[in-house]
Amino acid sequence: MVDTTQMGTPPRKTSLTHSSAQVARRKRKDVVLQGFGIAAILIAFSVLFILVASLVRTGYTAFVQTHVTLEVFVDPGEISEEGLPRGGFRDVLTAALLENLPEADPDEDARAVRNILSNGAQFDLRDRVVADPSLIGQTITLTAPVSDPFDQLNKGGVNRETPEDQRRVNNQEVAWFDTLAEAGLISTPFNIGLFTHADSRFPELAGLKGAIVGSFWALLTCFVISFPIGIGAAIYLEEFAPRNRMSDFIEVNINNLAAVPSVVFGLLALAVFLNWFGLPRSAPFVGGMTLALMTMPTIIIATRAALKAVPPSIREAALGVGASKQQVVFGHVLPLAMPGILTGTIIGLAQALGETAPLLLIGMNAFITSAASSPFDASTALPTQIFIWADSPERGFVSRTSAAILVLLGFLVTMNAIAIYLRNKFERRW
Amino acid sequence: MNDMRLTERNMTDQKIKMQARGVDVFYGDTQAIKTVDVDIQDKTVTAFIGPSGCGKSTFLRCLNRMNDTIDVCRVTGDIRLDEEDIYDPRVDPVQLRAKVGMVFQKPNPFPKSIYDNVAYGPRIHGLATNKAELDEIVEKSLRRAAIWDEAKDRLDQPGTGLSGGQQQRLCIARAVATNPEVLLMDEPCSALDPIATAQVEELIDELRERFSVVIVTHSMQQAARVSQKTAFFHLGELVEFGETSQIFTNPQDTRTESYITGRIG
Ligand SMILES: Nc1ncnc2c1ncn2[C@@H]1O[C@H](COP(=O)(O)OP(=O)(O)OP(=O)(O)O)[C@@H](O)[C@H]1O
Ligand SMILES: [Mg+2]
């Protein structure tokens, strides 16, 4: 009941246009808080910008590759049909180079001239001739990568002003290269090999195919294992498990599991999968199982959150028309939670894609020059390939390391973009 | 209050559809319902009224065992549907809820098409053997819920796209589609405007010809308009239960009188 109005103190007179001291103080606090927020965002963005910019600066040269185009006479004297796949492919190529370098001595300089070409050029030629032996005796046009020192020379990685004895290419080699360039034989196309070649000792031949394929198999294994198990566990815990000490205990430990450093999972995998079960070393399948151990808690947590977010009114509606618990969960709750589950899964997989430590421990940092054709073949993965290349001294690997990081970041950004897209597309308002 | 209708309404004594005896409900240690005895007659609208928090919803949810889904909730006592104990361990709550349908306070259509909303119950209970039969059930239910005209051209559109009042009628259609014997409604009109409310009330009156309806309401006028029996709850107790006309014109308990004249609650 409201009594008569209280007339004790007269109402304070305030003006709307003049802010009192208290209001001014409050306003100042707002401004300061906003300032901190903006500063934090600026710092975060500039760090990100510096990271990407430095990667692009060192990595962009790896996305193109210097090639030389030669008219090659497939000399029947060197290469015979019966001898295939053996033959003097290297000598044939050297001869073709010498043809274009009149100043070089065919006898004395043959070795040095040969080194202009990548070691892989002879195999390119061999593959072509093996595929079509009728080429023997003909003159064919071959575009082949040059070796790393000349690639660097072309891309500006070698300073011509530095004294000759401190340079990786001597004056004579520079002159030869310039001759080839003047003849219009040097080209710098997009480096397809970066994506179609596996690893190699020669930086100009090394590519990411093996790593990408390895990461693909590992992620596929990880998904196939962690998605059903993670969702199953989450559904059971969230919808069916009785709430008691046991389920609390499990819940706490799932959260703990999500916080375990990945190297520990690697050690576990080494001990259990490799030493105990005797699974193959370096195999993406084992890598995927290891990553699944880490992804599973993420998926369980994301799934439970998504299931919890489904409004209880939907469950009541379904129960109210006589749906069984299982019909409610699988017919109504799970479909509504799916976008959230998928988002969580993709983010979990993106984490797994960048995970390095556990893969190092199970030997996925081996030097492997062919892409895995099954998840059980030895392979590298993107992050371990970066690790290997970062350890290699050649200049060509420095830019390739940055390029590989950019490729990895590209995959991660794509996956996160898909997750955000899914979340927005299926976002529901109740 | 429509006293004309109230007084001229004559009670044909229907057989008892649901019977509650000595029902206690506990949430953990707190008792929400204290020894309640109620008879729900067939083909009758029974209204539950009472101040907020007195246990109307709790008791209503005992009648189709919706309280089973709340972990801390414990129900004791005896509730029978057609002489059968619904809390018998052999009873499957799923089958019970097919017979005792429910409409909730907030319209809660599935985020599916209007058609699928209504067809869901018949589908899971196998009430239709083919598409034509199902179509027929859907149409009949939508007609019964007085929403057929608005919905017939947009059956494949999501039920969540309807207005609040239409959604609530869709939910009623969904509940009716399983052919329940008892329909429980927990404040079905609280989210509706007066026009939609009038439509739903009219609907309840029609539904009474087929099954018994139990409705929780905060509106005394609504209780008086639609119900033949009224139960007044207070602090978890059933204070008074009788003919609606008698409760509103001649309450026996002073608490009932205070409540309907607006002095408590
Ligand atoms: N899930 C629950 N857990 C614990 N206590 C509950 C729960 N649901 C209801 N209660 C308590 O039980 C009592 C009765 O609640 P109930 O919802 O049945 O009231 P009501 O009569 O329907 O009220 P209203 O008219 O506001 O809907 C209240 O004291 C409430 O706090
Ligand atoms: Mg209620």
Rg (CA), chain A: 32
The answer to whether A244 faces chain B, any CB pair under 8 Å, is no
- Convert the pLDDT of each residue in A84-132 to its tens digit: 778 788 888 888 888 888 888 888 888 888 888 888 888 888 888 888 8
| Neighbour-count burial of A423, counting CB atoms closer than 10 A to its CB (0-12 exposed, 13-18 middle, 19+ buried) | middle
Range of weakest confidence among A128-132, A300-304, A385-389, B234-238: A128-132
**pLDDT at residue A428, rounded to an integer:** 62
State which of B56, B59, B104 you would mutate to test the pocket of ligand 1, scoring each by most atoms of that ligand within 8 A of its C-beta: B56
Residue A352 pLDDT more than 90?
yes
Q: Which of A414, A349, A355, A344 is nearest to A382 (CA)?
A: A355
- Convert the pLDDT of each residue in B105-127 to its tens digit: 889 999 999 999 999 999 998 88
Mean pLDDT confidence for B42-58: 93
Domain membership of residue B7 (yes or no) is no
CB pair distance less than 8 Å for A428 and B111: yes
Close Cβ partners of A191 (under 8 Å, ≥ 6 residues apart): A62, A63, A64, A65
Residues of chain A with C-beta less than 8 angstroms from the C-beta of B98: 321-322
The confidence band for A222, taking pLDDT boundaries of 50, 70 and 90, is very high
CA dihedral A210, A219, A263, A286 (to 10 degrees): -80
The mean pLDDT value of chain A amounts to: 88
- Convert the pLDDT of each residue in B242-256 to its tens digit: 999 999 999 999 999
Report the number of distinct structural domains present in chain B.
1
Residues of chain B with C-beta less than 8 angstroms from the C-beta of A337: none
Helix (H, G, I), strand (E, B) or coil at A55: helix
The answer to whether A318 faces chain B, any CB pair under 8 Å, is yes
Mean pLDDT confidence for A290-308: 93
Q: Which two tokens stand for residue A226?
A: 């962690």
**pLDDT at residue A429, rounded to an integer:** 53
Question: By residue range, what is the domain housing residue B95?
Answer: 15-260
Which residue shows structure tokens 């098409």? B113
Secondary structure element (H or E) that encloses residue A106, with its range = none
The confidence band for B15, taking pLDDT boundaries of 50, 70 and 90, is confident
Atom 12, ligand 1: which residue's CA is nearest?
A: B32
CB pair distance less than 8 Å for B104 and A316: yes
How many whole angstroms separate alpha carbon B199 and alpha carbon B68?
A: 32
Residues of chain B with C-beta less than 8 angstroms from the C-beta of A317: 104, 108-110, 171, 174
Range of weakest confidence among A5-19, A210-224, A229-243: A5-19
Q: What is the ipTM of this complex?
A: 0.85
Domain membership of residue B4 (yes or no) is no
In angstroms, the first-to-last Cα distance of chain B is 19
Whether ligand 1 lies within 6 angstroms of the CB of B70 is answered as yes
Domain membership of residue B139 (yes or no) is yes
Task: Give B20→chain A minimum CA distance, Å.
Answer: 20
How many whole angstroms separate alpha carbon A362 and alpha carbon A359?
A: 5
Which amino acid appears at position B142 of this protein?
Answer: L
State which of B58, B60, B63, B222 you would mutate to test the pocket of ligand 1, scoring each by most atoms of that ligand within 8 A of its C-beta: B58
Helix (H, G, I), strand (E, B) or coil at A1: coil
How many whole angstroms separate alpha carbon A334 and alpha carbon A336?
A: 5
Residue A364 pLDDT more than 50?
yes
Q: What is the pTM of this model?
A: 0.81
- A275: phi then psi, degrees, rounded to nearest 5: -80, -35
Q: Which of B69, B96, B110 sits opposite A317 (nearest CB)?
A: B110
Atom 31, ligand 1: which residue's CA is nearest?
A: B53
Mean pLDDT confidence for A271-278: 91
Of ligand 1's atoms, which has the minimum distance to the CA of residue B56?
21
Residues of chain A with C-beta less than 8 angstroms from the C-beta of B103: 320
Close Cβ partners of B194 (under 8 Å, ≥ 6 residues apart): none
How many whole angstroms separate alpha carbon A382 and alpha carbon A357?
A: 12
Helix (H, G, I), strand (E, B) or coil at A187: strand
Residues of chain B with C-beta less than 8 angstroms from the C-beta of A322: 94-98, 101, 121, 124-125, 178
In order of their start, the domains of chain A are 63-191 (no CATH), 209-426 (1.10.3720.10)
The confidence band for B8, taking pLDDT boundaries of 50, 70 and 90, is very low
Q: What is the CATH number of the domain that holds B175?
A: 3.40.50.300
Whether ligand 1 lies within 6 angstroms of the CB of B52 is answered as yes
**pLDDT at residue B265, rounded to an integer:** 52
Q: Which of A320, A332, A428 sits opposite B104 (nearest CB)?
A: A320
- Convert the pLDDT of each residue in A369-380 to its tens digit: 888 888 898 899
Whether the CB-CB separation of B21 and B197 falls below 8 Å is answered with no
Q: Which two tokens stand for residue A180?
A: 């080839």
**pLDDT at residue B197, rounded to an integer:** 87
The confidence band for A217, taking pLDDT boundaries of 50, 70 and 90, is very high
CB pair distance less than 8 Å for A313 and B106: yes
Mean pLDDT confidence for B203-213: 88
Range of weakest confidence among A213-217, A304-308, A393-397: A393-397
Query: Which residues are within 5 Å of ligand 2 (an ion), measured at CB?
Result: B 57
Q: Which two tokens stand for residue B212?
A: 């018994």
Mean pLDDT confidence for A72-77: 86
Chain B interface test: which of A239, A321, A326 (most B C-beta within 10 Å)? A321
Atom 4, ligand 1: which residue's CA is nearest?
A: B27
Please write down the HEC assignment for all residues of A262-302: HHHHHHHHHHHHHHHCCCCCCCHHHHHHHHHHHHHHHHHHH
Q: Which residues of B131-170 are buried (b: 16+ CB within 10 A; e: fewer)?
A: eeebeebbbbbbebbbbbebbeeebeeebbebeebbbbbb
Domain membership of residue B90 (yes or no) is yes
How many whole angstroms separate alpha carbon B87 and alpha carbon B80?
A: 8
Residue B4 pLDDT more than 60?
no
Domain membership of residue B123 (yes or no) is yes
**pLDDT at residue A6, rounded to an integer:** 53
Whether ligand 1 lies within 6 angstroms of the CB of B25 is answered as no
**pLDDT at residue B3, rounded to an integer:** 44
How does strand B73-81 pair with strand B229-234?
unpaired
Helix (H, G, I), strand (E, B) or coil at A95: helix
Residue B264 pLDDT more than 70?
no
CB pair distance less than 8 Å for A316 and B108: yes
Whole-angstrom CA distances from A295 to A128, A231, A347 are 45, 12, 9
The confidence band for B147, taking pLDDT boundaries of 50, 70 and 90, is confident
The confidence band for B183, taking pLDDT boundaries of 50, 70 and 90, is very high
What's the full length of chain A, in residues? 430
The mean pLDDT value of chain B amounts to: 88
- Convert the pLDDT of each residue in A189-216 to its tens digit: 898 888 988 888 888 888 999 999 999 9
Cα A305 to averaged position of ligand 2 atoms, centre (Å): 27
Higher pLDDT, residue B71 or A215: A215
Domain membership of residue B8 (yes or no) is no
Q: Which two tokens stand for residue B128?
A: 């239709």
- B19: phi then psi, degrees, rounded to nearest 5: -135, 125
Whether the CB-CB separation of A207 and A118 falls below 8 Å is answered with no
